[in-house]
Amino acid sequence: MAGVKNRPLSPHLQIWRWGPAMAISILHRVTGNGLAFAGLGVLLWWLGALVGGEAAYAVFTTHATAWYGRVVLIGLTWAFFSHMCSGLRHFVLDIGAGFELQSNNFWSVVTPIVAIVLTVATWATILR
């Protein structure tokens, strides 16, 4: 094997043209990792504050309602809805539908828009 010079290259990012489907697929992985790490950290802090008593919960609430806490919570909400919408898109692809280029590109563009709309609607309801 070491002497073979004309081996085929595996497809990589320099060969494929970037498109909406590729960007959404990468965003799906990024939001999943963000939810796993940042979301888990916030969830564990919240649960720890719940069992830690009034003082611990007051500290959590102070940070969660500050501007930086709201930014983190809104970001996690967007990541959740983005990951969910992208997961539903992947589910449809897994059942064999939506592989046509126009359909795939359309739903790849619609996915983040729906996630933003759901995030805005959720936070409008929370802050109302």
Residue 83 annotated as lining a ligand binding site: yes
In sequence order, which ranges of the chain are alpha helices (DSSP H)?
A: 20-34, 40-52, 54-65, 67-94, 101-127
Single-letter amino acid code for the residue at 93: L
CA distances from 14 to 10, 17, 79 (A): 11, 8, 28
Q: How far apart are the C-alpha atoms of 75 and 55, rounded to whole Å?
A: 26
Greatest Cα pair distance, the chain, in angstroms, is 70
Binding site residue list: 83
Q: Which residues are annotated as a binding site for heme?
A: 83
